[in-house]
Amino acid sequence: MIRPVRLLGPIFRIELLTTVRRARHYIARGIYGALLLFVFWASYAATFGNGQVASIQTGAEFGELFFYNFAVLQLIASMLVVAAVTSGTIAEERERRTIEYLFATDLSNAEIVLGKLASRLLHMFAFLATAVPVLALALLFGGVDADHLVQLFAMTLSTVVVSASVSMCISVWTTRPRDAFLRAFIILLGLSTLPILVWGVSLTRTMFSPLNLWIAPINEKFLESNPFLFLIKMAESRAPVPIATGWVGVKVLVVNHLTLSLAMIALAVWRVRKVHLGKVTRSVSPSSGRWRRWLWRPALGNRPMLWKEMYAEQAIKDLNVVGRVVVVLLFLAILAPLGRTFYKCYTRQFPRETFQDVATYLGGTIACAFLLVLGARAASSVTTEKEKQTWDVLLSTPITGLEVVVGKSLGNVYSLRWLLALFALVWIMAGILLPYCFGLGLLTALTIALLSPFFTNIGLFFSLRSRSSSRAMLGSLLVSIMVGGVYLIALIPFFEGSFDRGANRFFMAPCAPWLVFWPGWYDPRVRSHLNDAPPEVYVLGVSLYVVAGAILVWANVRRFDQCVGRTGPHA
């Protein structure tokens, strides 16, 4: 007897019961609620912290300011969390080798994919519901249009659905959860930023103009689907953004999102079984072997662990063709406006000091992304060995724990060398215009070098102690976010005025983004809230990370020796 096909099936029920017990979901909601409270306090301090008298007008200004800050945070958090939650669904089954059991049952492809997707979407809706009490508190101050509030939630829900659908489709083609998250993150980042950069380049009437005839219609659809552009248009109706506003714009955005979601879900349902069977029966093609002969690799030498991590574990292998294309387009989209700004400053059409600000903000953003990805990638370095059943082989070798930790740390940094090359290019261009920027760039690079051991070893710390890559990656990301500024929430009762007054300046010492941006911000000739913190605060913060990194290295080496069973003074 043929069993009738149900839309969701038993997978939905099982996934809902098993995933709801995981502590990571409650931790993520708690951190998100704490972030919202911090944004609430920061918006209140920005409105009433300058001695302004409380009135109906200032209350409305505070409500409006918090609403738009909340909207940006909600969109960014929802896209990141939905990529982390959804991208590993099918990949995790394949990595655990349990996906064959699903295919051996009478479950259809639609029941497997839609069941897993629906359970993740319910978790995301519960995650977004955390914001309701904080938002309700802010709405008491007024200043928020009811239409804007409903439009924001409609836009957020459609963004969650399309992000989950894209992540699910990526998971079908991916073997490991770490690779799936990296691909989903890069593709979602490309969908959010590339259309804006292409639109900005098209306005310059440069050599890209002949391509506008066929790029513009496609790019226009992506611009209409960008929730961040819609927020800009909502906040300032006169902003020169080529999209509709109001309910017309929301309708177009939701329709585009649902169309893309249905296409991604249909593709995932159609290919989930065929892709896995293809991966199982696939053999290495002769052309790939001939291509690899041209790749230069040094001899193995006396550092086998370092050689393996640097030359056998490449980050570019974590991306498929689409991910690589998106990375290349992102680099080109960054370099095109950067080169134009450099030319304008070089010919003195713009003040040359303008490029220092560009280098500071762009270089700092690249550095923050590097440290974040560094920790996330290191978090799966050991768990991947366990899942590939090569961890026992590594434990049986005479390689010491220090060699393993140092090899994985340096290999992790080496795998992201292209991001460091972009950072170096930005500061070299700034140094050509302003020679003293060479010193600022070197100081920023030194800061990254001193902070990198902490972030890569915090990932190794969780990877050595976790049973899966997802748990290790979540722990590493949570710690990275905490030192990225969330810890300031716990210090709110101790603040006296703004951040740049008295002892408050020392509270910024552990903030990693502030340390990365500080070399470009600090100028003793100019007094501002950005560079008012003295150099001793910067030195204190970097010293804390150096000490913490050394402690983590010692803890990771000790943990590896415990796994091996080595004891005694020579362990």
What pLDDT shows up at residue 165? Answer: 92
Q: Which of 36-50, 317-331, 412-426, 540-554 has the highest mean pLDDT?
A: 540-554
**pLDDT of 432 over the 70 cut:** yes
Helix 227-235 × helix 146-172 angle, to 10°: 170
Here the tokens at position 193 are 């930023």
Q: For residue 403, what are the contacts with CB-CB under 8 A and spacing of at least 6?
A: 303, 305, 306
What pLDDT shows up at residue 312? Answer: 66
Here the tokens at position 473 are 């990656």
Instruction: With beta carbons less than 8 A apart as the criterion, state whether 533 and 518 touch.
Output: yes
- Count CA atoms closer than 13 A to 53's CA, side-chain side: 1
pLDDT band at 449 (very low <50, low <70, confident <90, very high): very high
* 72 residue type, one letter: V
Three-state SS for 214? Answer: helix
Q: Which of 394, 388, 383 is nearest to 561 (CA)?
A: 394
Three-state SS for 139? Answer: helix
What φ, ψ does residue 49 adopt, rounded to 5°?
Answer: -80, -10
What φ, ψ does residue 102 adopt, rounded to 5°?
Answer: -65, -40
Q: What is the mean pLDDT of residues 151-158?
A: 90
**pLDDT of 300 over the 70 cut:** no
pLDDT band at 50 (very low <50, low <70, confident <90, very high): low
CA trace torsion 386, 388, 392, 398 (10° rounding): -100
C-alpha distances out from residue 16 to 90, 91, 131, 272, Å: 15, 18, 22, 21
C-alpha distances out from residue 309 to 22, 179, 398, 454, 462, Å: 32, 16, 17, 18, 18
* 557 residue type, one letter: V
The span from the first CA to the last CA of the chain, in angstroms, equals 63
Q: Which of 184, 203, 198 is nearest to 226 (CA)?
A: 198
pLDDT band at 546 (very low <50, low <70, confident <90, very high): very high
The per-residue pLDDT of the chain, averaged, comes to 78
Three-state SS for 241? Answer: coil
Whole-angstrom distance, CA of residue 36 vs CA of residue 135? 9
Whole-angstrom distance, CA of residue 115 vs CA of residue 86? 12
